[in-house]
């Protein structure tokens, strides 16, 4: 039988009401939200369950998303399901690390809050941005970006035909024009507060490393794949450096998925708001089985899928 990976989405898929039905129906999910509020001194439930404009502000989005993913995971685990691997895109790497046992919930959730604060304050508003490049070969994008005069680079290798670039606002606009000329189907500016996963966030990454130096890091009980190099993490040695560098390095999501496929994974369970990763997966490997868990009603589909595999 094939192996299973539980995967967590990144920032941008959040919405009002996310996780509320898990909170109302699973004690283990409720405990995650309640414990997070104690740890952070924030009204996470209001942030996630009600219409709250703060949900789209990075310093609030990141802890809200991580807590919601882990609350949904708690319900999946309550039903007796565990994966062979974890993975997560960008912010989603944090619930993966916490779920893997490498960093405790008690230390991991405040770390996510610190990450959000550092990333939000790293670059003055309006100085940087991100854009999705659709329908252009990765090598062509890399060749075009080499010519850039300012700081701009690839932030996310999401899947074939979708790459995200990040950097200085003006250079980003120039490169967007160049990429369109080079044959990109579309170049879409993203509604984000900064140039995440670019060299402009190096100082934020270094500050995060200081925070990480105070955190207890263990070898994962269940391995996960790291965003910066798409390698399976089985021991504690590289975790601090990997997480700090992730802030200003490319997220190699497509490679992470290919690593998991090579490890024998054929069932991917996306746990968290939205279906973004499922979309990427179908472009990376059409044959992969993907189940989304973002509502309690989705749990039945997971049960059926797992039982059908025997």
Catalytic positions, written as ranges: 90, 197
CB-based contact 78:132 (threshold 8 Å): no
Give, in order, the Cα–Cα distances in Å from 148 to each of 125, 176, 181, 202. Answer: 22, 11, 15, 19
> How far is CA 196 from its chain centroid?
12
Closest CA to 245 of 194, 195, 198: 198
Query: What whole-number distance in Å separates Cα of residue 293 and Cα of residue 112?
Result: 22
- The helix (H) or strand (E) run that includes residue 168 is strand 162-168
208 half-sphere exposure, CB direction, 13 A CA radius: 29
Write the CB contacts of 175 (distance below 8 Å, at least 6 apart in sequence).
144, 145, 148, 152, 165, 167
d(CA 177, CA 28): 49
Residues 299 and 263: their CA atoms lie apart, in Å, by 25
Cite the beta strand spans of 12-111 per DSSP E: 85-88
Nearest Cα neighbor of 79 from 302, 305, 294, 290 is: 302
CA atoms within 13 A on the CB side of 94: 28
Distance CA(130)–CA(189), nearest Å, equals 6
């Amino acid at each position: 039988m094939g192996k299973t990976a539980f995967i967590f989405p990144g920032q941008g898929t959040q919405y009002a009401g996310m996780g509320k039905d898990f909170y109302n129906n699973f004690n283990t999910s409720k405990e995650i939200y309640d414990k997070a509020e104690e740890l952070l001194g924030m009204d996470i439930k209001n942030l996630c369950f009600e219409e709250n404009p703060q949900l789209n502000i990075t310093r609030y989005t990141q802890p809200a998303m991580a807590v919601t993913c882990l609350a949904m995971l708690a319900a999946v685990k309550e039903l007796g399901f565990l994966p062979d691997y974890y993975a997560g895109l960008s912010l989603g790497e944090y619930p993966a690390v916490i779920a893997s046992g490498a960093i405790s919930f008690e230390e991991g959730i405040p770390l996510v809050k610190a990450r959000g604060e550092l990333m939000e304050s790293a670059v003055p508003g309006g100085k940087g941005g991100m854009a999705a490049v659709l329908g252009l070969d990765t090598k062509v994008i890399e060749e075009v970006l080499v010519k850039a005069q300012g700081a701009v680079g690839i932030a996310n290798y999401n899947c074939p035909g979708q790459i995200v670039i990040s950097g200085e606002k003006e250079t980003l606009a120039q490169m967007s024009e160049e990429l369109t000329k080079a044959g990109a189907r579309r170049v879409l500016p993203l509604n984000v507060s900064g140039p995440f996963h670019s060299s402009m966030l190096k100082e934020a990454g270094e500050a995060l490393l200081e925070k990480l130096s105070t955190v207890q890091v263990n070898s994962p009980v269940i391995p996960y794949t790291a965003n910066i190099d798409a390698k399976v993490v089985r021991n504690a040695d590289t975790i601090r450096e990997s997480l700090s560098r992730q802030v200003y390095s490319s997220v190699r999501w497509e490679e992470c998925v290919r690593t998991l496929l090579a490890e024998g994974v054929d069932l991917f369970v996306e746990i968290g708001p939205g279906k973004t990763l499922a979309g990427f997966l179908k472009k990376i490997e059409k044959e992969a089985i993907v189940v989304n868990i973002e509502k309690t009603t989705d749990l039945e589909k997971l049960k059926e899928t797992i039982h059908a595999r025997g």
